[in-house]
Structure 1
Amino acid sequence: MLAPSLLSALTLVSAAAGALAATADQWRGRSIYQVVTDRFARTDGSTTAACNTADRVFCGGTWRGIINKLDYIQDMGFTAIWISPVIEQIYGNTDEGEAYHGEFPLLGYWPKDYYTLNPNFGTEQDLNDLVTALHDRGMYVMVDIVVNHFASWGDGSIPYSELVPFNNSSYFHKKCWINWSNQASVEQCWMGNGQVPLMDLDTENTYVVNTLEAYIADFVKEYSVDGLRIDATKNVRKDFWPGFCKAAGVYCQGEVWSNDPSYFCPYQNVMDGLHNYPIKEYAASAFQTSKGSLTNLVSVASKLTNQCKDVSLLGSFMENQDNARMGSLTTDMARLKNYAALNIFSGGIPVVYYGQEQLLTGASDPNNREALWLTGYPTTGANLVAYFTQLNTLRNAISTRGKDKGFLTAKPIYKTLSASVLSVRKGNMLLALTNAGSGAAAKVTADGFGVGVKLMDVLACEETRAGWKGELPFWIGAEPKLFYPKALLAGSGICGL
């Protein structure tokens, strides 16, 4: 990676980065496949190379491996990928394992040198080739970054002189361990433990702020990055982020791990989007069993719509590197399809964690970071590959056709239709979901359609019609239904139209 020109070049580089970058509005129509680089695909294409998640070590996934499996991702209808942090991290097998991904319980990413790439993942040419391969396919790339802290390991003194570019303790907050109930402590104290402390950058320091802004502008320009996933967003003061994201000149989606909209939503005032943790956490509970509360999910969704700046720019996810996979919550295929449909059509930008389509079952770190190559990447059989392909195809068709220009920006409206059925309306689309599980069926009624309008359940390609009051009575079994006006599908190829 090129060394930065830092402050003197900030304005010039930032302007160049902005000219190359995809906007937040352009990201609305994307569907993102999240890749843990070390666990997705190897350069040698092996599907048998051992990877024991309990060992917490590098297993050999690379950027070249991702290039070789882009067909697998794109064929499922994904139009962007999010990759793990690319910078050099601390090395060695700590008491928390190696920095193959850099996150473990109560820990964050483990940076050592911003200007050197992680050699475990490949060369600078490999990373450039990955970005080029994505752009040649019309796909975007989102890179995971961390600017909250650096890392060290061992219980001795911290080798600040080895950190790049912040090689002095004066660039960091004084050591204190985070008290998660105190926001000032969350922003200024350290994550980690005595063995792997994460030294918190002093983002009140003008030199630190200016250097970070210059770095990210240079990074985005050098690698033609389209978007950023920002780790530990809530661990940095809010008013740091507008300048940083402006310098980057790309869509920023931050991690604010909270299911409380009143705490969560204000962070969207300082960057484009956030991972939608409130929906994720309430949905995981709502569809895990037939006793899950759909009412609570509807309530939090309504609060988000009312309190967040723009829910269409939130990242909609059901799994990620820090949370249990849906396959660990239930083995009921119908419920897993409900999770998948909500993942893609919940109202924001879909983010699907690698392996979700293969029904991986890791319950928590490190078990939820399995090596995908051990599945063999099957596209048929007992998995959700075909289902995610169908869902993405439908969303891509609806969002890119001129007949429904308001779909992407429309605010989602959640509503309970019964104790076991809820609907998500977004523009002209209505998604019906149920937590009843396999073998169940119920009759419910949705409303708000045009009088007598013809509708297609595009998941089953079955036609129906709204009544003279705009109401739609329908039976729903254990799997989702997705209703859309038939007239708007003309020429789309969906359901033969």
Structure 2
Amino acid sequence: MRFFITAAVASLLQTCFAATATDWRSRSIYQVFTDRFARTDGNTAAPCNVANNLYCGGTWKGLEKKLDYIKNMGFTAVWISPITAQVANAYHGYYQNDLYSLNTHFGTARDLRSLASALHSKGMYLMVDIVPNHMAFASCPDKVDFRRLKTFNHPDKFHSYCPIKNTGNQTELEDCWLGDCNMALPDIKTDDPLVAREMNAWIRWLVSAHNVDGLRIDSVKNVNKAFFPPFCRAAGVFCMGEVSEGHANYTYPYQKQMDSVLDYPLYYSITRVFQQKSNMSDLVVALASCTDNQETGCKDPTLLGAFFENHDNPRFANVTQDLSLVKNALTFTMLGDGIPIVYQGQEQNFAGGDDPWCREALWSSQFNTTSPLYKHTALLNNIRNHIVSESAPYLSYQTRILAYTATEMQLRKGAIRTVLSNQGEHAPTWALKTQGMEFEKGKTVFDVLSCARYGVDGNGEVDVNMRSGEPVVLVEENVLRGSDLCTCERGRGSPRYRTVCGGERGTHDL
């Protein structure tokens, strides 16, 4: 009976912000791990022992109070942890036992709607993590009492239990169960038309009731592919799936089933190159694997979720504390083809290891807005947001590799040309002659990260100063008009320059 009630209610509800893939392409996303971002009481001294795997007290209301911390970095969307009701102590949100109830540890329905309204008032989108693959029961699989699950409370709504023994067997991945004897995860029978119908009604309700603008879909490779197209149509908003696999030929074809997937193939390449485990040719291969979509099935690289940290993998700084390397990785991620995603704590250079150590409480940083990576992230978002507003073709322009060596790479995406290095902060200062930049000869170009200015030669190139392995982002002066990027350098000699920047010897404050 529950099905007919929820389906009828859901059919009457309409999403207020039916954000499409086109709307999301221009966004940059800040990933919030809800329990570990901010508390309602604002306490930044509250303890959070990640080894305990227990709730630490983060809430939707705490997040709402700290939205300016995210907005001031230039982010235009926030992705939060799953919102559904959970078994005891499931602070992460992936052990749900009731689809239609909310996790009361995070707050009330009113709190969640208030968060959505606050985001929308700031011109930002709300992305919610969802788990269509499984429910949860704290026992061994053979001890599950299905009557205690909500929505689906009968074993015929789930696949019969089998463990996943061979991850290369797609049938096993989709029909067998995740979990273990500490936590059984009954696998929802999404290939059953009646079950799929109920799931579609649920997601339509969830999006409408909570004013959600986009979905991050967990464990996509564990669900039958045919389930997703009607499910995402029912949601009516942008869908980005998690396919945690580094092989391009496996991951990218899932983009045929939904708008986007997290770019795990590129993630592995980014971490290898900028943790100095491989050279730049690794990135060349990774970029080509999505450009050549006839071979890999990559439908649209400009919609993929670009990232190099999340809540499931060791922090980048757990491997290296070299700030120039992380700045290069961040620059590549933020100014590349996909929708950039930064996981909370990256901007504070958190260094936790594998799960659960990568799930630190952000409030321990005191929400420091002067840290080098906070400022670097804000600057990159500022650059991207300005170029998006000034140049319509930028978003659809696929990154071109102009030149590369083992340690440097020159790229172009529309009006932005980037020079990346993985030599690290101990690299010497040296001059690099650009190749294939195609700037207008005689014009002035700025490295918007340092505000160094360069004159373009007769071949459309510049001689760039490479310092301490830092990245370089080159933009023509005329493209920067209307922004606050390098305004001090561009206004040199004018009354405004002397007033705002402190005289002829002043420098732009990054």
The TM-score range, normalised by the shorter chain, is over 0.9
1:427 matched to 2:401? The reply is no
Deviation (angstroms), 1:439 = 2.9
**SS of alignment partner, residue 177 of structure 1:** coil
CA contact (8 A) 2:417 2:437 kept: no
Letter in 2 for 1:257: S
**SS of alignment partner, residue 143 of structure 2:** coil
CA contact (8 A) 1:328 1:362 kept: yes
Distance 1:20 1:495 in 2: 35
Distance 2:400 2:217 in 1: 28
CA contact (8 A) 1:22 1:250 kept: yes
**Partner residue in 1 for 2:494:** none
Deviation (angstroms), 1:423 = 2.4
Distance 2:161 2:278 in 1: 42
**Partner residue in 1 for 2:78:** 81
Distance 1:469 1:62 in 2: 55
Distance 1:3 1:449 in 2: 60
**Partner residue in 1 for 2:495:** none
**Partner residue in 2 for 1:470:** 460
Letter in 1 for 2:382: T
**SS of alignment partner, residue 167 of structure 1:** coil
Q: Which moved more, 1:153-162 or 1:201-210?
A: 153-162
Letter in 2 for 1:132: S
Equivalences for 1:257-336 in 2 at 5 Å? 257-289=244-276, 292-307=278-293, 308-336=298-326
**Which of 365, 373, 388 is the aligned partner of 1:399?**
388
Q: Which moved more, 1:423-432 or 1:175-184?
A: 423-432
**Which of 348, 369, 372 is the aligned partner of 2:362?**
372
Deviation (angstroms), 1:429 = 1.1
1:412 matched to 2:409? The reply is no
Cα offsets for 1:367-390 (capped at 9, x unmatched): 000011111111124x41111111
**Partner residue in 1 for 2:121:** 136
Deviation (angstroms), 1:11 = 5.1
Distance 1:495 1:360 in 2: 29
**Partner residue in 2 for 1:158:** 144
Deviation (angstroms), 1:10 = 5.6
Distance 1:67 1:234 in 2: 32
**Partner residue in 2 for 1:480:** 471
CA contact (8 A) 1:295 1:416 kept: no
Distance 1:243 1:9 in 2: 18
**Partner residue in 2 for 1:226:** 213
Q: Which consecutive residues of structure 1, in runs of 5 or more, have no partner in the other structure?
A: 92-97, 103-108
Normalising to structure 2: TM-score of the pair?
0.90
**Partner residue in 2 for 1:94:** none
Distance 2:426 2:407 in 1: 13
**Which of 373, 378, 382 is the aligned partner of 1:389?**
378
Give the number of the structure with larger relative contact order, counting CA–CA contacts within 8 Å between residues 6 or more apart: 1
CA contact (8 A) 1:110 1:150 kept: yes
**Partner residue in 2 for 1:101:** 92
**Which of 207, 215, 235 is the aligned partner of 2:194?**
207
Cα offsets for 1:384-409 (capped at 9, x unmatched): 111111111111111122xx110111
CA contact (8 A) 2:402 2:435 kept: no
Distance 2:208 2:38 in 1: 26
1:177 matched to 2:174? The reply is no
**Which of 186, 193, 204 is the aligned partner of 1:217?**
204
Distance 2:61 2:435 in 1: 48
Aligned length: 477
**SS of alignment partner, residue 457 of structure 2:** coil
Higher Cα Rg, which structure: 2
CA contact (8 A) 1:417 1:444 kept: no
**Partner residue in 1 for 2:486:** 495
Letter in 2 for 1:486: E
Cα offsets for 1:400-445 (capped at 9, x unmatched): 22xx110111111235522110123211211111000113144242
Distance 1:420 1:110 in 2: 43
CA contact (8 A) 2:84 2:103 kept: yes
CA contact (8 A) 1:152 1:196 kept: yes
Distance 1:493 1:110 in 2: 45
Normalising to structure 1: TM-score of the pair?
0.92
Instruction: Give me the identity figure in percent.
Output: 42
Q: RMSD of the alignment, in Å?
A: 1.7
Distance 1:100 1:36 in 2: 9
Distance 1:348 1:284 in 2: 16
